[in-house]
């Protein structure tokens, strides 16, 4: 994090990455003095409403994040930036996205939590686009031209107003991570509710164990245990009304519909109170750890792993067998996880896994049969990428085994279809 004073004094000359957050209401034109070097610009958490036409002077800029500002339009000048690949304007007040706001090299577009009602047909010309986040807008339909997005791998459409499922996405050759809950076409889904209700006063939250886009998970202890559930529990308290993946209630519904499986984090109870939604879960044993790390700005949609972390082919086979069992179970319930990644998997030293994080999950068994089949194939493609990612960290001595080759072939089958 830098300061406006440092920028104006010339002390930042030559930097490649600039972050400024000082409740700015005007774009600091001094940023343009960094045109020869600036590649990443982060102006999140300010009060900006527009970018000047001179912004296109930043010819080396590749990445821009201006979330939590006051834009009502995706700035058209972005389309004039020759090397811009990643754009993030989450949580503004954007209603308008025009064709000339889309750079030719666009690879990553985040417009979550705005007020967008429609998108330009020119979006389909962004053939390098890999990641598109549109949850929490007011979209009623998607451009038919999106059928041309041959490199799109991840799309978030939850919490919009789509009146019909966007069929133009179903045959995209690389799409693997798809979320679409909370739209008009599926807003009235009925989900059987097997979990008991408890009150938020029945337990006490203690240490935070982790948090993601949709909520915070904490270690908790019962103050009153009305249903005589497990003594050791964790509680996920959902964030707000809408997250980067959709509505918290849809996540809870997908979790309830999926039900129990040995390789899923066990759900025990729920809390549904005004402005407070939570899921009570069995406490995961301490010897489990995250299998992977989330994607980076470089990898975009593919997971990463700690340096020097490897797995034996035997461990990978065991992990994959369990993941396949999870997906088969979920598809039998008509639920797509939407976020099959190593970073959403917990593993122990014996390669036993637990899959969690239903933030991007979608219920689809009320759609037409052909749509269901294609959604299932998209989910299997994510499994193929998951297998590829694990094979990338396979121990060197195991990379010439029959099991390695079989898994590689299986991954390609899932990916290609």
194 located within any domain = no
Q: Are residues 163 and 255 in the same domain?
A: no
> Whole-model pTM?
0.95
Which residues are annotated as part of the binding site? Answer: 236
Q: Are residues 271 and 395 in the same domain?
A: no
Domain boundary among 155, 186, 217: 186
**Share in percent of the chain as helix, strand, coil (round to 5):** 30, 20, 50
Domain boundary among 282, 303, 327: 282
Q: Are residues 165 and 229 in the same domain?
A: no
pLDDT at residue number 245: 79
CB 338 within 8 A of CB 360: yes
pLDDT at residue number 384: 98
228 located within any domain = yes
Q: Are residues 307 and 278 in the same domain?
A: no
Q: Are residues 39 and 179 in the same domain?
A: yes
Q: Are residues 235 and 172 in the same domain?
A: no
Query: Residue 366 belongs to a domain with what CATH number?
Result: 1.10.510.10
299 located within any domain = yes
Backbone angles phi, psi at 239, to 5 degrees: -90, 130
CB 183 within 8 A of CB 158: yes
Q: Looking at residue 103, what DSSP letter applies?
A: -
Sheet of 345-347: strand order equals: 289-290, 345-347, 353-355
Q: Are residues 158 and 24 in the same domain?
A: yes
Q: Are residues 264 and 304 in the same domain?
A: no
Q: Are residues 94 and 138 in the same domain?
A: yes
Domain residue limits at 97: 4-186
How far is 63 from 297, CA to CA, in rounded Å? 9
How far is 295 from 359, CA to CA, in rounded Å? 17
193 located within any domain = no
Burial 95-120 (b: 16+ CB within 10 A, else e): bbbeeebbbeebbbbbbbbbebeebb
In a 13 Å sphere around the CA of 136, the CA atoms on its Cβ side amount to 24
Tens digits of pLDDT across the chain (417 residues):
899 999 999 999 999 999 999 999 999 999 999 999 999 999 999 999 999 999 999 999 999 999 999 999 999 999 999 999 999 999 999 999 999 999 999 999 999 999 999 999 999 999 999 999 999 999 999 999 999 999 999 999 999 999 999 999 999 999 999 999 999 999 888 788 779 999 999 999 999 998 877 889 999 999 999 999 999 999 999 987 787 778 888 998 999 999 999 999 999 999 999 989 999 999 999 999 999 999 999 999 999 999 999 999 999 999 999 999 999 999 999 999 999 999 999 999 999 999 988 999 999 999 999 999 999 999 999 999 999 999 999 999 999 999 999 999 999 999 998
149 located within any domain = yes
Domain boundary among 164, 186, 208: 186
177 located within any domain = yes
β-sheet bridge partners, residue 44: none
Query: Residue 156 belongs to a domain with what CATH number?
Result: 3.80.10.10
Q: Are residues 174 and 318 in the same domain?
A: no
191 located within any domain = no
Q: Are residues 12 and 150 in the same domain?
A: yes
Backbone angles phi, psi at 220, to 5 degrees: -140, 160
pLDDT at residue number 335: 97
pLDDT at residue number 244: 74
Number of structural domains found in the chain: 3
Backbone angles phi, psi at 19, to 5 degrees: -120, 125
337 located within any domain = yes
Which residues are annotated as part of the binding site for ATP? Answer: 236
CB 105 within 8 A of CB 126: no
Q: Two tokens at 15? A: 């930097």
Q: Are residues 67 and 13 in the same domain?
A: yes
């Amino acid at each position: 994090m830098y300061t406006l004073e440092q920028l104006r004094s010339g002390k930042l000359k030559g930097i490649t990455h600039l972050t400024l957050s000082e409740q700015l209401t005007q774009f600091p034109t001094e940023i343009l003095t960094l045109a020869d070097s600036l590649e990443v610009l982060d102006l999140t958490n300010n009060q900006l409403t527009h970018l000047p036409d001179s912004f296109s002077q930043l010819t080396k800029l590749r990445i821009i994040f201006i979330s939590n500002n006051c834009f009502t339009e995706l700035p058209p000048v972005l389309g004039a930036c020759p090397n811009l690949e990643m754009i993030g304007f989450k949580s503004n007040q954007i209603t308008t996205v025009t064709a000339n706001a889309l750079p030719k090299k666009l690879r990553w577009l985040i417009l979550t939590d705005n007020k967008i009602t429609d998108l330009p047909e020119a979006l389909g010309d962004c053939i390098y686009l890999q990641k598109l986040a549109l949850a929490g807008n007011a979209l009623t339909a998607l451009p038919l031209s999106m059928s041309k997005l041959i490199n799109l791998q991840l799309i978030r459409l939850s919490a919009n107003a789509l009146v019909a499922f966007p069929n133009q996405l179903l045959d995209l050759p690389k799409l693997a991570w798809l979320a679409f809950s909370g739209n008009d076409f599926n807003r009235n889904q009925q989900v059987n509710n097997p979990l008991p209700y408890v009150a938020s006063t029945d337990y006490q939250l203690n240490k935070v164990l982790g948090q993601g886009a949709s909520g915070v998970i904490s270690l908790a202890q019962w103050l009153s245990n009305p249903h005589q559930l497990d003594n050791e529990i964790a509680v996920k308290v959902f964030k707000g009304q809408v997250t980067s993946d959709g509505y918290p209630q849809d996540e809870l519904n997908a979790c309830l519909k999926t039900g129990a499986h040995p390789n899923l984090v066990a759900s025990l109870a729920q809390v549904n109170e005004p402005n407070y939604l939570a899921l009570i879960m069995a406490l995961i044993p301490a010897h489990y750890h995250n299998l992977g790390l989330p994607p980076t700005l470089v990898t975009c949609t593919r997971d990463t792993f700690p340096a020097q972390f490897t797995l034996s082919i035997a461990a990978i086979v065991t992990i994959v067998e369990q993941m396949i069992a999870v997906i088969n179970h979920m598809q039998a319930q008509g639920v797509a996880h939407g976020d099959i990644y190593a970073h959403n998997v917990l593993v122990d030293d014996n390669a036993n896994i637990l899959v969690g994080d239903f933030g991007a999950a979608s219920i689809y068994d009320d759609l037409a049969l052909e749509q269901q089949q294609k959604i299932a194939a998209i989910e299997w493609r994510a499994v193929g990428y998951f297998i590829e990612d694990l094979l990338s960290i396979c121990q060197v001595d195991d990379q010439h085994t029959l099991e390695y080759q079989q898994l590689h072939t299986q991954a390609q089958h899932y990916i290609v279809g």
